[in-house]
Structure 1
Amino acid sequence: MNLLSLPDGRIVNLEHLTYAERMGEYLVLHFSGGGASEGGTGSVVRLKQGEGARRVWTYLAGKC
Structure 2
Amino acid sequence: MTDTYELEKRIRMKGLTKSKVAEILGLTLYGFDLKCKNHNEFKASEISRLSDLLELNPEDFQKIFFLKRIVN
Task: Give TM class, smaller chain.
Answer: 0.3 to 0.5
TM-score by length of 2: 0.31
Task: Flag the structure with higher helix content.
Answer: 2
Structure number with higher strand proportion: 1
The higher relative CO (CA closer than 8 Å, separation ≥ 6) is in 2
